Amino acid sequence: MKAAWLGCLVVLASGRTFAAERVVFCEPQVDACVHASRLGDAPPRGWWAATDDGSIITAARTGQRVPAVLYESKAAYQEAIAGLRGKEVEAAILKRLASVRERPIAAAPGFLFGVAREDMLGVIRAAGPGDQAIVEGTLAAAVALAGGEETFKDLSPGETITRAREPLARLQVELKDGPVSAGYEREARRLTTLLARFRPGQAKGAPFASPERAYFAPDEPPPGRIDGELFVDQPWYAWRGGTVLVLRSGEAAEARWSKSKLRLMYFDRATFYHDISSLTDAQMNRRLSARLKGPPADELAALISRLAFDHAVFMHQATAVQASEPAARAEWGEVVALATDNLRQAIPPAAREPAPNLTGALARLREDVALLDVLAHASTTPSLTAPLVDRFQAAVGRLPK
Amino acid sequence: MANYHVWHHPSLDGKPAFATTALTVPTIDPTAAPPSEVKLFQSLRNDMDQLRADGANKGIVDPNLREVGVSGEGLELWALKLGKGSACKVLFTGCHHAREWISVEVPFLVAKFLIDHYTDTPSTDAEKRVKHLIDNREIWFVPLVNPDGHEFSVLSDRLWRPNRNAYFLQEQDLDAPQFGGGVRRIHVAEGLYRGVDLNRNYPTATWGQETWRGRFPTTSRDPADAKHGIWAGPSAASEVETQQIVSLMAAQSFRASITYHSFSQLLLYPAAAEKDAFVQFVGKGMSSLIDANGNPYTYESGSALYPTTGDLMEFSYQAESGRPTFTPEVRPTEAGPESSFFSGLPEAEIEPTFQENLGAALALINCAGFDAPAASVKVTWAPGASVAQVVRNGWKAFQGFSP
């Protein structure tokens, strides 16, 4: 009762309502779950439920235990359990719980950082031509969340440019010859020219890059004890007598992988890696069966958005070139601006839901930041997580209203 | 609780040894957003300087040796030269592979243990044995052989494995010799390729021969495998970091060596030493010392794990034939969660990993003074601890060794 009353107070005092509905795991003695909508039981561990951010924030501010956030939305939860029955759902929830608990920031699950990135992408996507301040402010917030400019302060200018070029080459490979690629081609040329000032030997050509996809090899037995994943970072999953594994596109074409029998399952190796580490076998079977027809069409677009965003954040975060000679500093500034423009071109419209307008996107970002802030302060290592999220929240707070 | 080291970071400038800084680092889970983990790190530069000063005050560390060279990016390969017995030298190395953070910590903590526990007036058995080892051996520590790769692993890619050197290659076809015979033709696309696996780059007799585990390459001549950290490089000892270790070995003629890696909980010996009675004697003894801590490591040939060419252990055995040389693959086991592999090993496991490897490390230092298994060593008694006495006492001399 006390918790519910305080929950109302939080909402009233802040003048805000909490629209987002999270799916959390409730263990005994977690008061924040008292008014949550129970979705299922996993005795004796507890149950899972949908609740709003107000209840979670109230729990944190009144010194109560904060429930583990399993899914950032009810829709994500429903997608995760679709097609599962009875105990399969419970097993999926417990695996998800273990995955969340394994995360380094125990009470502030890593996926919320991912949520924040999606929110920031949403803001940039919704920003119009006259909203440059919003875009720059959002990237500044992303830099704060990435640890600030201090992180790469010690890099040499040459190494900074090198670290910008390599992910850019990967992004260009994914973009191929589409309309967005021309902008990135200009950016790559500028970076190569700039690199020639510091590392002429490495400015002779572009970094090698190749797409990495997950394929199903029906006749390929799973690797042995020290497998590809452990040794060469090639995640694999044994399925239907064969193996799903990550290969470079060029490598996939080689005879030893029997190209004719390979089936493309994932555009993004990271999504595949995430699935095999956080889903149950029942979930994997369902997901892979659906992907036998090919990966979802929007997966490649999501990969490109992520690569473009991370590249733009690094360009804003790494400042070593700015601290070098004036001519290089000016040139670097122009390339950073180009990276921002390219990012705005590279983000496709949201595919899965109606895209919010800028006001809605900003509201979503602020709402998620509020929850992230609470979880960071309630984490097992608040002295580490809270300052970071405080800086992020402050940067978001500086965004134009 | 111990923390991981970075080579150094500007936020640790001017701070005392063993101070920490919070850095925002990517998680080992590549699906998470880049800034999703905050960890505390110590400066290896500051802490090695402190160990050097502490050891120099006791007269057991060379105050003038700070590094054994620099990396491709100009970062020093910090080093310590500990001990008074220059006729009998031992080499400890760590972190050939950037993402194997724990492999920095074990040799660092072994050095710290020896310096902290050295006294001119030993009273306990442990103190007497530490004094014996330091008075009769010269022990070199290079805990971070790959500082460029390690820094990149900390700040940018937690699964990065090779160094950070780059080569611009023209389009070409390359015929790569295969270990055991045959040739594979590789088409190399034009481009800049970054990252040579230092532990495939040593100038062994077999350098550059490709090895496989099933369809997975474990030593590759294809520069496109650089990202996976198994590219042997364009030529033997092409990398400056490799050259530094090779030069050090040539100058010092180490009588024993150990190079730490992770993971799988194995103690590996050179395949060529399969029937070497002395190496097997030492290795099995070290294995028993590790196992006595209750967290066993499998003792096996390096080729049983997976075949490789151009690695340091193979090179060490080739350079100093008959001398003990080993590769511990420390925590975690393969049964652990994937998030605990490589740089994901929790800080809480740093100290236990060191503790379970300490006895074996000290036994190896001790064995550098011998040429044959204990059964054939002539035991000469003398007042106080002697080299022979330690061997006569067998491996139990180092069992349960702790501060």
- How confident is the model over B214-267, as pLDDT tens digits? 777 889 999 998 878 899 999 999 999 999 999 999 999 999 999 999 999 999
Residue A108: what pLDDT? Answer: 47
Instruction: List the beta bridge partners of residue B328.
Output: B267
- The residues spanned by each domain of chain A are 2-73
The yes-or-no verdict on residue A259 having pLDDT over 70 is no
Instruction: List the beta bridge partners of residue B93.
Output: B142, B259
Report the residue from A104, A201, A250 with minimal CB separation from B224: A250
Lowest mean pLDDT across A166-180, A233-247, B178-192, B387-401? B387-401
Question: Is residue B14 less than 8 Å (CB to CB) from chain A?
Answer: no
**Which residue's entry shows tokens 């003990």?**
B324
Question: What value does the mean pLDDT take over residues A244-265?
Answer: 74
Residue A33: what pLDDT? Answer: 79
A371 and A20 in contact (C-beta within 8 Å)?
A: yes
Report the residue from A232, A277, A313 with minimal CB separation from B216: A232
- pTM for this entry: 0.90
Residue B161: what pLDDT? Answer: 93
Share of chain A above pLDDT 90, in %: 47
Chain B 151-170, residues with CB within 8 Å of chain A CB atoms: 155-156, 159, 161, 164, 166, 168
The yes-or-no verdict on residue A398 having pLDDT over 90 is yes
Residue of A nearest to B191 (CA): A208
- The two tokens of residue A257 are 């992988």
Report the residue from A146, A154, A228 with minimal CB separation from B35: A146
Q: Which residues of A touch B37 (CB under 8 A)?
A: 104-105, 110
- A295-321 in b/e burial notation, b at 16+ Cβ within 10 A? bbeebbbbbbbbbbbbbbbbbbbbbbb
CA distance B301 to B326: 10
Residue A227: what pLDDT? Answer: 47
Residue of A nearest to B40 (CA): A384
- The two tokens of residue A351 are 């595919």
Residue of B nearest to A147 (CA): B24
Q: Which residues of B touch A150 (CB under 8 A)?
A: 10-11
- How confident is the model over A217-226, as pLDDT tens digits? 888 777 654 4
Kindly write down the DSSP assignment for every residue of A61-103, as one continuous string.
HTTPPPPEEEESSHHHHHHHHTT--THHHHHHHHHHHHHHHHS
- The two tokens of residue B380 are 């000469």
CA distance B167 to A208: 10
From the CA of A155, how many Å to the nearest CA of chain B? 10
Domains in chain B, CATH or no CATH each: 4-160+239-398 (3.40.630.10)
Determine, for residues A220 and B215 on separate chains, whether the beta-carbon distance falls below 8 Å: yes
Contacts of A217 (CB under 8 A, 6+ apart): A242, A243, A244, A245, A257, A258, A261, A262
Kindly write down the DSSP assignment for every residue of B274-297, as one continuous string.
TT-HHHHHHHHHHHHHHHTTTS--
Determine, for residues B223 and A208 on separate chains, whether the beta-carbon distance falls below 8 Å: yes
C-alpha torsion B248→B239→B102→B281, nearest 10:
-50
Question: What value does the mean pLDDT take over residues A161-170?
Answer: 95
Question: Is residue B33 less than 8 Å (CB to CB) from chain A?
Answer: yes
Question: What value does the mean pLDDT take over residues A215-244?
Answer: 72
Question: What value does the mean pLDDT take over residues A239-255?
Answer: 78
pLDDT, block means (10 residues), chain B with 403 residues: 95 96 80 68 98 98 98 96 95 97 98 96 87 94 98 92 95 96 94 96 97 85 89 98 98 97 95 94 90 92 89 97 96 80 92 95 90 54 40 55 50
Q: Which residues of B touch A154 (CB under 8 A)?
A: 8-10
The sheet with strand A37-42 has its strands ordered as: A37-42, A46-52, A21-26, A68-71
Residue B24: what pLDDT? Answer: 86
- How confident is the model over A59-73, as pLDDT tens digits? 888 888 888 888 888
CA distance A18 to A16: 7
Q: Which residues of A touch B9 (CB under 8 A)?
A: 154
ipTM field: 0.87
**Which residue's entry shows tokens 């390339």?**
A335
- How confident is the model over A107-145, as pLDDT tens digits? 444 566 778 888 999 999 999 989 999 999 999 999 998
B88 and B137 in contact (C-beta within 8 Å)?
A: yes
Interface test with A, best of B20, B170, B192, B218 (most A CBs within 10 A): B192
Residue of A nearest to B30 (CA): A270
